[in-house]
């Protein structure tokens, strides 16, 4: 059983998947920083100095000045600003991955030349024969070379 487990772990696709998960986690942190620290501040400024992460709906009867204050007090809040940040984060990650995959496909795309057939069917016995043949080797019928 230990040998089987070792063979499973050392298979190429399992190791590739592990590397992809680790790189994906690090990449996610970079994108999160890009969204929160670079993109959202100018968008918030354009929308009237709104910080999306601070947008929330207070579900209690007590008023709070900020989301942090409401959470510290244990008040129930609907944090739609954080949700908006996560949606923008997801869209940026999806766009970057799309662009990367598209670029990789262009780099790895090989021009395929059409393969010219070297055989044809005998019109009498329907077996494959050379295009250059003048007689079918199976039924010995005379055929016109192509």
Q: 129 - beta bridge partners?
A: 120
Average pLDDT over residues 3-32: 81
35-46, pLDDT tens digit by residue? 778 877 887 788
Question: What is the C-alpha separation between 49 and 52, in angstroms, rounded?
Answer: 9
Residue 63 has pLDDT above 80, yes or no: yes
- Is 86 in the same domain as 31? yes
- Is 82 in the same domain as 143? no
- Is 104 in the same domain as 41? yes
% of the chain exceeding 70 in pLDDT:
95
**129 backbone φψ class: left, alpha, beta (φ>0; ψ -120 to 50):** beta
Number of H helices, E strands in the chain: 5, 4
List all residues 6 or more positions away from 27 whose beta carbon is below 8 Å from its beta carbon. 93
- Is 88 in the same domain as 146? no
Domain that holds residue 91: 2-109
- Is 34 in the same domain as 81? yes
- Is 124 in the same domain as 70? no
How many structural domains are present in the chain? 2
81 close to 53: Cβ distance less than 8 angstroms: yes
Predicted TM-score (pTM) above 0.85? no
Position 19 confidence tier, pLDDT thresholds 50, 70, 90:
confident
- Is 94 in the same domain as 32? yes
- Is 42 in the same domain as 98? yes
93-102, pLDDT tens digit by residue? 788 778 888 8
List all residues 6 or more positions away from 24 whose beta carbon is below 8 Å from its beta carbon. none
- Is 146 in the same domain as 83? no
- Is 42 in the same domain as 90? yes
- Is 57 in the same domain as 125? no
Q: What's the confidence (pLDDT) of residue 76?
A: 92
């Amino acid at each position: 059983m230990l040998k089987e487990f070792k063979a499973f772990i050392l298979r190429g696709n399992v190791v590739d998947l592990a590397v992809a998960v680790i790189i994906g986690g690090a990449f996610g942190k970079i994108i999160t920083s890009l969204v929160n620290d670079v993109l959202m501040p100018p968008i918030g400024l354009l929308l009237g100095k709104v910080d999306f992460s601070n947008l929330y709906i207070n579900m209690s009867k007590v008023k709070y000045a900020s989301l942090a204050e409401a959470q510290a007090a244990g008040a129930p809040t609907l944090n739609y600003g954080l949700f908006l940040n996560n949606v923008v984060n997801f869209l940026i990650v999806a766009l970057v991955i799309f662009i990367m995959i598209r670029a990789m496909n262009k780099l790895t795309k090989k021009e395929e030349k059409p393969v010219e057939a070297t055989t044809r069917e005998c019109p009498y016995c329907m077996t494959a024969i050379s295009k250059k043949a003048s007689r079918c080797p199976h039924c010995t019928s005379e055929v016109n070379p192509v």
